[in-house]
Structure 1
Amino acid sequence: MTFDLYGFGPALAAGALMTVKLALSALCLGLALGLAGALAKTSPYKPLQWLGGTYSTIVRGVPELLWVLLIYFGTINAMRKLGELLDIPDLSLSAFAAGVIALGLCFGAYATEVLRGAIISIPKGHREAGVALGLSKFRIFTRLIMPQMWRVALPGLGNLFLILMKDTALVTVIGLEEIMRHAQIAVTVTKQPFTFYMVAALIYLGLTSLSMVAMHFLEKRAARGFVRTT
């Protein structure tokens, strides 16, 4: 099957690149938030447990599209006042930044539960062995807990990233020129909705397929040195 893209091919390619940038940026933010949330929920301190639980509950309870809209439009007045204080006219949060924050916030909430499950799955004796060797809590976490945690969490995080990749389409509502935005513009101009929405679907399918290959490689690499027991 061939598609006549009416000259919109470069625009769709630029949209695909923007989608990848948005997904990877949100992934970095989401992993940081997810790790912080997981550590808070597994902390022995009740306030931290409450903070981590509140974050994951509230964020997961609100649709991703609403978070995109709330963060983008909810910061307009705050950014305007900040611009007045800093003498920077027309200071505002860009659509890309709002998308990264919103999608990273949502990814982090779900990643919190994945990483929490991975942390509590590690036998308590591993931590006790680190204490017996005289390791600090930081070194126990970075040298003993984290490598095992990532191995357990990678499949779940991989699935979340595939969802994140497709959720980037939500940012089109605030004007970010990613795949769906360019596809909608092309449809408006050419009146060929099936063609361009099919091309957009194929682009998303290609990106998710590449992501699955990358995750398979990371899972195999993380599993080196571990023997599966029967």
Structure 2
Amino acid sequence: MFELFSYGDAGWGDEILQGLAITVQLAIATLPVGLCIGFLAAFASMSRARPLRFLGFGYTTIMRGLPEILTLFVVYNGAGLLINAALRWWAPEASPIDFSPFAAGVVALGMVFGAFAAEVLRGAFQSLDQGQVEAGRAIGMSSRQIFLRIQLPQVWRFALPGLGNLWINMLKDTALVSVIALDDLMRMTKVAVGVTKQPFTFYLLACLIYWAMCVLSELVLAQMERRANRGIRRA
């Protein structure tokens, strides 16, 4: 059985590791995209302007109500059509552009992550003591200084547990990109199963790898939470 996991033509070890590398790269690339979308949607939902609030709440409501795999299909098929339509309008003689599965995965998972992160961040902002903001204004701090020195450090501490859970969920959701032909861990596992006809062995290996990534993430997140809460007295 261990020969199945060896390197070279006799085993599938190198293919599985290549798929694992793509899965990790996809998750890492999606995280900043999702956080940016989350902050923008959170700010929009807390805005005093009614159109922005409607836009922020509408985005989070719609995206949280759609299945992740459906969002992935819409982005993968629809984004390519929109890009090529815009390209034909701008330069009719230009060649069509292929929207890569990796880019589609980053965009789709980032949109989903951002919708849930927006609610976490909005709750964190609403948990802040507004007296601290007023005190910052009283001593002449600008809005940027208040955000960077007073609000953001506390928002990070309040939102970190929720964002950590979203990261772990997103790490597992990367398996969905296998349906759009991205050679991630799940797709390479399916290929190995199709060739060797040993589904239990390879799917069990995939389970263990995903579980190990989640456990490692939990250890890192626990350390980050301890650092974020340093100096905070526990009741």
> TM-score by structure 2 length?
0.93
Matches of 1:76 and 1:148, distance apart in 2: 40
* 1:39 shift after superposition: 1.4
In the TM superposition, residue 105 of structure 1 has moved relative to its aligned partner by 0.1
Amino acid at match of 2:189: A
2:224 equivalent to 1:218: yes
What is the CA-CA distance between 1:103 and the residue it aligns to?
0.2
Q: Which residue of 1 aligns with 2:115?
A: 109
User: How many matched pairs?
Assistant: 229
Runs of 4+ that moved beyond 6 A:
none
Cα displacement string for residues 17-54 of structure 1 (whole angstroms, at most 9, x for unaligned residues): 11111111111100001111111112222222111101
The residue that corresponds to 1:192 in the other structure is: 198
Overall identity of the aligned pairs, in %: 46
- Following superposition, the deviation at residue 83 of structure 1 comes to 4.3
Preserved CA contact (<8 Å) 2:3 2:11: no
Matched AA of 2:68: E
Q: Hey, what does 1:41 align to over in structure 2?
A: 45
Higher relative contact order (CA 8 A, sep 6+): 1
Q: Does the 8 A contact of 1:3 with 1:195 survive in 2?
A: no
- Alpha-carbon distance, 1:206 to partner: 1.0
Gaps of 5+ in 2: none
Any conservation in 2 of the 1:82–1:91 contact (CA below 8 Å)?
A: no
Measured in 1, the distance between the counterparts of 2:100 and 2:191 equals: 20
Match of 2:82 among 64, 78, 82: 78
Deviation at 1:90, TM superposition (A): 3.3
1:88: how far off? 4.0
Do residues 89 (structure 1) and 95 (structure 2) align?
A: yes
- 1:81-160 matches, within 5 Å, as 81-84=85-88, 85-86=90-91, 87-160=93-166
- Whether contact under 8 Å (2:30, 2:106) holds in the other structure is yes
CA RMSD after TM alignment: 1.5
**CA separation in 1, counterparts of 2:94 and 2:148?**
42
| Shift in Å, 1:195 | 0.6
| SS of corresponding position for 1:75 | helix
Residue of structure 2 in register with 1:50 after alignment = 54
Conservation of the 8 A alpha-carbon contact between 1:183 and 1:200: yes
TM-score (norm 1): 0.95
Q: What's 2:211 paired with?
A: 205
Separation (CA, whole Å) in 2 of partners of 1:16 and 1:202: 12
Q: Which residue of structure 2 lines up, in the alignment, with residue 61 of structure 1?
A: 65
Distance in 2 between the 1:150 and 1:140 partners?
14
Matched, 1:20 2:24: yes
- Structure 1 spans left out of the alignment, 5+ residues: none
